[in-house]
Amino acid sequence: MEWVKSLNESIAYIEEHLTEEIEYSKLAKIACCSTYHYQRMFAYMAGVSLSEYIRRRRMSRAAVDLQAGEKVIDVGLRYGYQSPTAFNRAFRAVHGIAPSAVRDEGTPLKSYPPLRFTIMIKGAEEMEYRIERREAFRIVGISRPLDKDIEKNFAVVPQMWGQAASDGTIPRLAAMMDTQPMGLLGVSVCGDADEWRYFIAAASAQPAGGLEEYTVPAATWAVFPGQGTTLSLQDLEQRIITEWLPASGYEYGSAPDIEVYLTPDPADARYEVWIPVVKRDHI
């Protein structure tokens, strides 16, 4: 399949450039998606973040170089570490020992081989979804900037929701909802041409009243309903990426990802995950 082939081509690019700075945008271009969506797909399919995978591959290669008798400082520089301290910290995080200990006979090391993506049949558990074309719509709410390395944002979004719940923002937004989709929205605006931001918002035609405004562009969406906790929502998102998307005939579009919270109970919420999609030329 072309989709999987493109992902594997991005892995080959990583292997060829482990001693250089690897631009995530280049990997995303090879995989024919945005930088944000590439990182999400990679993490869900590989079970490890993109940055951690690259670090593990570099430290696997570094261990081989050290075993061949190269100097620690030379190997560290080769893989992008400007100080021995930084290289030592990264090497310990992967292998559990200092780089200088590699030459000791019997020293245990870890090797992380290059990934190869394949389509895996996991079973016959159903996934309910619908494809929906929607014109542009306006949202109002609050936002915060996101880092281009999505691993660094894991604490940002939960803190935002906690603050919005405690300072009265969530009930204020709930009172402003008057257009579809009717629910509290978590909107990840992470196109390659945009400053990455996360919105907690509502679709509304009412005056913003000091809140931020954003227009979600017209797009085709794959919409997946779910119910449960935040963890169950993450499980649904993982299934969308690893099970539905590869064989769907669609690929990621350029619009934001949206989470629509239809009921507010954090322990047992009803929600929808909206993924922007476009038809693939080849399956």
The better pLDDT of the pair 159, 121 is held by 159
Measure the CA–CA gap between 259 and 164, rounded to whole angstroms: 16
Q: What is the mean pLDDT of the chain?
A: 91
Cβ atoms of 277 and 250 closer than 8 Å = yes
Phi, psi of 43 (to 5 degrees): -60, -45
pLDDT of residue 22 exceeding 90: yes
Measure the CA–CA gap between 53 and 115, rounded to whole angstroms: 9
Burial 26-38 (b: 16+ CB within 10 A, else e): ebbbbbbbbbbbb
Query: What percentage of the chain has pLDDT greater than the value 70?
Result: 96
How many CB atoms within 10 Å of residue 145? Answer: 10
How many CB atoms within 10 Å of residue 128? Answer: 8
Measure the CA–CA gap between 72 and 55, rounded to whole angstroms: 16
How many CB atoms within 10 Å of residue 202? Answer: 25
pLDDT of residue 186: 96
Give the alpha-carbon dihedral of 237, 242, 244, 249, to 10 degrees: 120
Task: pLDDT band for 268, please (50, 70, 90 cuts).
Answer: confident
Measure the CA–CA gap between 161 and 103, rounded to whole angstroms: 49
Strand 137-145 relative to strand 250-252: parallel, antiparallel, unpaired?
Answer: unpaired
The better pLDDT of the pair 190, 247 is held by 190
DSSP 3-state of 210: coil
pLDDT of residue 221 exceeding 80: yes
Name 137's bridge partners.
Answer: 216
Q: Which helix (H) or strand (E) holds 269?
A: strand 269-279
Measure the CA–CA gap between 151 and 39, rounded to whole angstroms: 9
Chain centroid, CA 232 distance in Å: 17
pLDDT of residue 168 exceeding 90: yes
pLDDT in tens, 25-38: 999 999 988 999 99
Task: pLDDT band for 16, please (50, 70, 90 cuts).
Answer: very high
pLDDT of residue 283: 47
pLDDT of residue 234: 87
pLDDT in tens, 44-82: 889 899 999 999 999 999 999 999 999 999 999 999 999
- DSSP alpha helices (H): ranges in the chain? 2-16, 24-30, 35-46, 50-67, 72-78, 84-95, 156-166, 169-176, 230-239
Query: What average pLDDT score do residues 149-159 get?
Result: 86
pLDDT of residue 247 exceeding 90: no
pLDDT in tens, 91-102: 999 999 999 999
pLDDT of residue 4: 79
How many CB atoms within 10 Å of residue 210? Answer: 6
Query: What average pLDDT score do residues 218-238 get?
Result: 91
pLDDT of residue 1 exceeding 80: no
The closest alpha carbon to 186, from 166, 152, 228, 214, belongs to 214
The closest alpha carbon to 187, from 174, 196, 179, 177, belongs to 196
| Cα-based distances in Å from 130 to 65, 187, 267, 273, 275 | 51, 19, 25, 11, 11
